[in-house]
Amino acid sequence: MPNKKGASGSLAPRSLSFALASIRGSQCPDFQKEIDSLQKLRHPNIVRLVAFKMPSGVGDRPALVMERCTADITELMGPRVKREDDLAYLMKQILAGVKYMHEQDEPIIHR
């Protein structure tokens, strides 16, 4: 596994582009709580919230703008992970992000 860290020092490569997620109406009541939680997270192994849009009228949906990670877990665990120490490195990075979320004042459980 030659390039274990991305530009930000995390496992996954990062880019300057962003991903937009629109939230379904049934999820709207929890949207502000989600925003409050995501705004606090600053960890190299957690995708960062860049901006958000609250609904402004009937039929309007809230949206999240997230930092875009250019790789997903299936790519990272694919053919590049050939040795046990590579897999151990990958798992340590994932668990470091999960541990950080669990250590928040209001612990965040990954879904």
In order along its 111 residues, the chain shows pLDDT tens digits of 334 444 444 555 554 455 556 655 555 667 788 888 888 999 998 889 988 888 777 777 788 888 887 777 777 676 666 677 877 888 898 899 999 999 999 888 866
What is the structure's pLDDT at 35?
87
Nearest to 13 by CA among 75, 59, 95: 75
Q: Residue 70 and residue 101: Cα distance in Å, rounded?
A: 22
Q: What is the pLDDT of residue 4?
A: 47
Distance CA 21, CA 97 (A): 21
Any residues with CB less than 8 A from the CB of 57 and at least 6 apart, and which? Answer: none
Q: Global pTM?
A: 0.65
Q: How far apart are CA 103 and CA 111, in angstroms?
A: 16
pLDDT score for 83: 76
- 84 to each of 77, 88, 94, how far by Cα in Å? 11, 6, 15
Domain 16-102 is found in CATH 3.30.200: yes
Domain boundaries, the chain: 16-102
Q: Measured in Å, how far apart are the chain's first and last C-alpha atoms?
A: 28
